[in-house]
Every structure is written in C-alpha cells, then in structure tokens.
Structure 1
Amino acid sequence: MKAQWFNEVHQIGEEKWQQAIGDTGYPFAQYAFHAALEDSGSVGGKTGWYPEYILLMEDDETPIGIVPTYLKTHSQGEFVFDWSWADAYQRYGYNYFPKRVWAVPFSPVTGPRIFTTLDPDGKSDEMLGLYAVVGDLLTQRTQQQKTSSWHLLFTKEHIRAAFEDEPVLARVSCQFHWFNKHYRDMEHYLSHFSSRKRKSARKERQKIVQQGIHLERKLGNTLSQTDVEFFYICYQSTYAKRGQRGYLTLAFFEHLIDSMGDQIVLVLAYREASPIAASWCFFDDHSLYGRYWGCIEEVDCLHFEACYYQGIEFCLEKGLQHFDPGTQGEHKIARGFEPVFSHSLHYIENEGFREAIGAFCREEAESVILYYKETANLLPFKEN
C-alpha cells in the first residue's frame, strides 16, 4: 500500500477521490462536500483549517481510500472541546497549536474517518489494521512537523482497538440520537410514548398550528437561490445571538445544492407566505444528519418542530433508520432521542501532558457514563 499527502482536494480530483471511497453514500465522504468547503473559503485561507488529505493506494496506484486531516491553529468548529488542554500548554510555555485533527470539519457526526472502497459502510472490524497504519502516519507527521498532537474525532467505538498498544488516549462524550424501531408513521411512533409524554408532544406540535405557522420540507435540488439565501440568514442569526459568526460561507451552501442536492433536505417554516425559520439536514440511505438551524422570529416550540419532529417524519417517509440531530441538547430526550456515546482518540506527543490529559479523560468518562445513565431514565417511552 502507498500513501500520498495532498493539501487541496482538486489535487486529487473528483474521479480519483470517488474511486477511492467506492459506493459509500455517507454525505461527509463525498468529493463534492470537501470541494465545497475549499471552493467556498470555509476552510483554508485564514480560517485556521488547513487541509492535508491522505490518498491511500494499492501498489499499482489504484486509489482505495481517503483520510481527511487538517492542521488547526485553534479548536473552533470541532465539537470535542480541548480548550483547557491548550490553556495548560500555554501556562507551561508550550505551544498546543498547530495541532492536527482527523475529522470532518464542522460536523459532529459519528462515522468512518477512512473513506474507503474496502469498507463502504464504515463498519468492518477488518479495517482496524488500516486505522493503525494511518495512526502511525499521523504520529510520524506530528514528529516531523513538531506539532503537539493529532485527534481522531467522532470515530466509531470499535476503532479504539486499533490503538490498544499505542500511547493514544480515548475520550467519550454523550449525544442524543433517534432510532427507527419499525414505526409506521408519526402516530404509531407517538403511541409508544407514555400517555403524559404523548400528550405533551402532541400539544407542542399543535402550538405551531395555533400560532399560524406551517412547515414545508424541500429537497436540495429543488431549492431556489432565495431559499438558500434565506436559510443562510437564519444560519448566521443563530451565531449572532451568541456574538459570533457562522463558520460556513453562503457559497458553501450554494455549491452543495448544485453538487449534492439529492442528499439535502431543508425544512422551512412560514407565517402565511413569509419564511421565518429554516433547518438544513443531510441524508443517505440509512441516516438523517441534522446540522444547521436558525430563525428570524422566535416562536414557541418552533425549534422542536423544525429540527426534531419534521426530521423524524422525514425518516419515517424515507425508511431511514437513524437520525443524528447534532451535538448536545437534553431537550431532545423528551422527543424520543436516546443517549449514545460518541468517541474520540488523541495522540499527545509530550509524555508529561499525555499523562495529565489521560487522567482528565478517565475522570471525565466517569461523569459521562453517569450522565448517560441518568438521561436514559428520562426517555418518554412506555415501560416494557
């Protein structure tokens, strides 16, 4: 096997990239997604995200895999928070940045982090050896470039076994996901709630109607320029409320409706004929991935409807088995989203910091496991 580094997606090219990833429908593996990030200026330039992709090839140079990595000069847009680690480095006179993340930018969604024709669904245990090889490549790169660390974000739990004999730290956090347990439709789904929780969910949905709001789901390839521009106002408004600016540019979303429109669904909320809120999701043949939301008018329960109930309905209509609505958010529990663990792996070059961060990860895991158990008891479903 051969490995070659590239710092632009276009240096690899769409044909070679798609050949390397094979038949996967995973949205965040597609050439179009990463090309949109670069071409729109959402990564590269002065963003603090500097791509360094690894192309894996057979000895005859047949492409068999893509590994997305980025040199980072900050920790924004990752959703695995390590600011305290960076602060500790600074206090002791060391540089934490630049570091390397092995991740999909701005996407806290668990999935494969080697996109490969050898394992299109990202589930094979046989891939552990390949993950170990890539880990060795990143460790070598870390030492050559004299960076602090590399970080494999939102990986699958079994990938940890690839690094059992390596000085790689495991970290765990908690998200909330929805699973389709053979539900026929929304009423059938809600019938599995306890009586009180079912009444509460129906009341939330009815509030939207009573406030004169109606919602519509549109596939990406049917969106107009006006739709995309309105969504972008909503997207930026979410960050503006926290005194920040969204990481992604309007051009990123414009690129995506042209190149990945059949894997995008936009939920639009209207008061009469005027849009007031929007929620943008990706999907494949198995899962819906909720990513970006915002509104220009605050309406009671609208967030729950646009981001959760509409997504569940979409899954039921399309036969999707899983809905990942994004990171954090205990309010998802009452709508039937179950706690799940998410996993990351971290190689810290400095042995002293590695030991301290390892202790932190172990203590944090105890709290996360307790939180997982507590939230699992809050689910709205009837007891068996």
Structure 2
Amino acid sequence: MSDQIEIFVSGSIAEFDPSDWDACAVQQLRGSLHPRDPFTTHRFLVALEESGSVGPSTGWAPRYLGARQNGQLIAVAPLFAKGHSQGEYVFDYAWAQAFEGAGGAYYPKLQVAVPFTPATGRRLLCREGFDAVGQAALVQGAVHVASEQNLSSMHITFCTEEEARAGREMGLLHRIGQQFHWENKNYADFDAFLSDLSARKRKAIRKERKQAQGFGGEIVSLTGDALRPEHWDAFWQFYQNTGARKWGTPYLSRAFFDCVQETMRDDVLLVLAMRDGVAVAGALNFIGGDTLFGRYWGCTEHHACLHFELCYYQAIDYAIIHRLTRVEAGAQGEHKLARGYLPKTTHSLHWIADAGFARAVQDFLDAEREAVDQDTEVLTSYGPFKRTNIEDDHD
C-alpha cells in the first residue's frame, strides 16, 4: 500500500464527515468536556456556513483543504479565498496598497483562518501522530493552490507558536502581533487575584466593579440549556449596535446564533446585564478546554464600567471557578492592561508569490517584530501587578 499523500480542496465543510474532521481538529484535554479550541470544530464551521456568515458573497469563499494517506484523512485546514482583508485582525491593508500601487492584483488571496476570530489556535489541523507530515502537506497544498490560480499570497493567521516555527522552516514569512490575555495563577477566587496587584490597581478594580454592579439590575451568566431564544434576540441587538459602530455591517448573521444555540450552547458563556427583566448589555464568550475566549460585547444602555465588568471581570470569575488557565479577550485594547490582562505574542505565517515583494515584506516584518517586542516589554512593565514583594500592600 502506498504512503503517498493526496491533497484535495472542498468548497463546503459539509463535504467532510464531522467525526473525520474533528479527529484532526479537536484536541480534548483530560478532565475537560470542551475541545481545546472550539473554533476549528466541524460544528462551528458549519454554523458559519449554514448561517450565510461565510460564502462567496461575503468575500470568504470556502476552500477547505484536506490531506489523505492510505485512504485516511490525516490533516485539514480552514482555507478561504478572500476578496478583501476584512474580519482577519492581522492587518495587511498596507501590503495590498503597496502591491496594487505597483500594478499588481493583491486580491483574491488565500487565508487559512477562522473567520472573524482573533484567537490563537492550531490552523494546520493534524490527526494525532501525523503532525509533521500533515503540516507539510497542508502548507504545500495551500501554496500549490495559490500558485496554480496565480494568486498573490497565502496567509495563516493566529497560528500556534509551534506552527510558526514549522512554517519558518518551510520558508514561510513569520509575523508576530500582540494581544492581552489574563493568566490564572491557580487563584482560589477573585480576591486572590487582586492580592497580586498593587494597592492602587486593586482599589481601582474594586471601584469599577462596584460601579458596574450598581447599574440597577442583576448580572447573570448563562450556558448550555439555560440559554433561551430570547437571550439570543437580545444579544443580536447588542451585536448589531457594536458591529455598526466598528465595521459598518456585522460579520455574523442572525442565523449564526441560532446555529450556536442548536449545536454549541454547551460551549458558550453568555453574560447578560438584566434590568427589570430586560437585557441591556451582554458579552459572548466561547469555552475552550483550558481557555475562555471573549468574543463580542454590546449594549442598548450605557452604564459606567459595565463593559469592564461583563467582558473582563466576569470572565476572570468564570475562569477561576472552572479552573481554566487563561482568558483571551480578543484583539487590541491596551485598556485591558490595567485590568490584569498582559501583552502576549501572537503569530501568523505568509507566503508571497512575487519574490521582490516578498523581500520587501520580510524587511517590514523584521522592523515590525523589533517594535512589537519593545512594545510588549514596555507594556508589561506598566502592568498592574506588584513590582516587588515589599511593595506597599495596604488598601
């Protein structure tokens, strides 16, 4: 029997058997009921497709990549043909402008990514025991598709550090970025976390939580069967309001949240601020095996510090109670620093067809990497945690 690997491209996640896809995509941690990364599961990608949130008309045309060996699916990747750079959170608008200014066509391009999801996770999804051969097959396959179709580039965004190392060895360009994550140092409760902070920052957070929780109602955290259609109706209004301010048109359709309710409600934590029985603000999180992923926030009423409470402090509370390792609160936001979320490095990989343009991008990445490293060092030094063991600890 031949050990030759067959690479194929599919226009729909529905063409993959869910158990085969998840055998490559899902890493289950011992003792956890949740996959390490909920965003690469078959059910999440189905929700995006069936709801119309991705598809040719959205500029995210599915080109799912698969690799088979001896008839067995050994690796998959969520690959898309992109007609723009929206919904990626690793910004290459300057690259597109430079390339097109020189007479090239930057779009369409290929993107290995989870749409609208700036959360680090595996992007080259390999069945256990096939990591090296599977990663190589998927990268070679994606580059081949891009070359065959005369596309400008191929990008793998929010990949793991291990994938970034492997990609560099395969000749891909490596880019780093920055996010703000909260890390659980085995805290017993929220007060134990606060005890790690300087007295001034501790007081500030307690003041914010008191202000937020005094908005005139109650804060509820819902997951699994506690979620009801009316909760999603309310959150859809929040999501639309936030999306209209940030992106013009929200990325996700209303039907996406119905799909999540049907197939992923156990993987969701929805935190709502309720006043007189009506939700006035909310934050949507997805629950991973060791990480809580903050995704969307919105409101119909403004209340002081409620955003910080629902998005950051309630997430920390949940992570501590459920013994999760970290909270990833999404893209950007230096305001997270004062709330215990420290800068962490993110990774992406890039293939550029034009050799001259690739050299220019590499020069840019070298300079950018130095700037990001310096920024991370400076921001970490300004974090809210105690500098020394003898720092004034009085409240």
Could you tell me the TM-score, scaled by structure 1's length? Answer: 0.94
CA separation in 2, counterparts of 1:68 and 1:242?
A: 25
Q: Kindly state the Cα deviation for residue 22 of structure 1 after the two structures are TM-superposed.
A: 5.2
Contact persistence 1:22–1:116 (CA under 8 A): no
Note closer, same or farther for the CA distance 1:241–1:352 as it changes in structure 2 (3 Å cut): same
Q: Kindly state the Cα deviation for residue 383 of structure 1 after the two structures are TM-superposed.
A: 2.2
RMSD: 1.6
Partner of 1:251: 255
Structure 1 runs not aligned, ≥5 long: 120-125
Q: Does the alignment pair 1:103 with 2:107?
A: no
Secondary structure of 2:57's counterpart equals coil
Partner of 2:56: 45
Partner of 1:127: 131
Q: Kindly state the Cα deviation for residue 217 of structure 1 after the two structures are TM-superposed.
A: 0.3
CA separation in 2, counterparts of 1:209 and 1:86?
A: 45
Q: Kindly state the Cα deviation for residue 189 of structure 1 after the two structures are TM-superposed.
A: 1.1
The count of residues paired between Structure 1 and Structure 2 equals 377
Q: Does the alignment pair 1:75 with 2:67?
A: no
What do the CA deviations read for 1:208-252 (whole angstroms, capped 9, x no partner)?
233324211000432111110110110110122246111000101
Q: Kindly state the Cα deviation for residue 193 of structure 1 after the two structures are TM-superposed.
A: 1.0
Q: Kindly state the Cα deviation for residue 23 of structure 1 after the two structures are TM-superposed.
A: 4.8
Q: Does the alignment pair 1:324 with 2:335?
A: no
* 1:1-384 alignment, distance < 5 Å: 1-21=5-25, 23-24=27-28, 25=35, 26-59=37-70, 61-118=71-128, 127-242=131-246, 244-384=248-388
What do the CA deviations read for 1:133-157 (whole angstroms, capped 9, x no partner)?
3211111111101100000101122
Q: Structure 2: which amino acid aligns with 1:143?
A: S
What do the CA deviations read for 1:319-342 (whole angstroms, capped 9, x no partner)?
111111101101111111111010
Q: Kindly state the Cα deviation for residue 367 of structure 1 after the two structures are TM-superposed.
A: 1.3
Q: Kindly state the Cα deviation for residue 165 of structure 1 after the two structures are TM-superposed.
A: 4.6
Q: Kindly state the Cα deviation for residue 128 of structure 1 after the two structures are TM-superposed.
A: 4.3
Partner of 2:32: none
Instruction: Return 41-50 or 14-23, whichever deviates more.
Output: 14-23
The percentage of aligned residue pairs carrying the same residue is 37
Q: Kindly state the Cα deviation for residue 292 of structure 1 after the two structures are TM-superposed.
A: 0.8
CA separation in 2, counterparts of 1:167 and 1:65?
A: 20
CA separation in 2, counterparts of 1:377 and 1:111?
A: 27
Structure 2 runs not aligned, ≥5 long: 29-34, 389-395
Q: Structure 2: which amino acid aligns with 1:330?
A: E
CA separation in 2, counterparts of 1:245 and 1:4?
A: 33
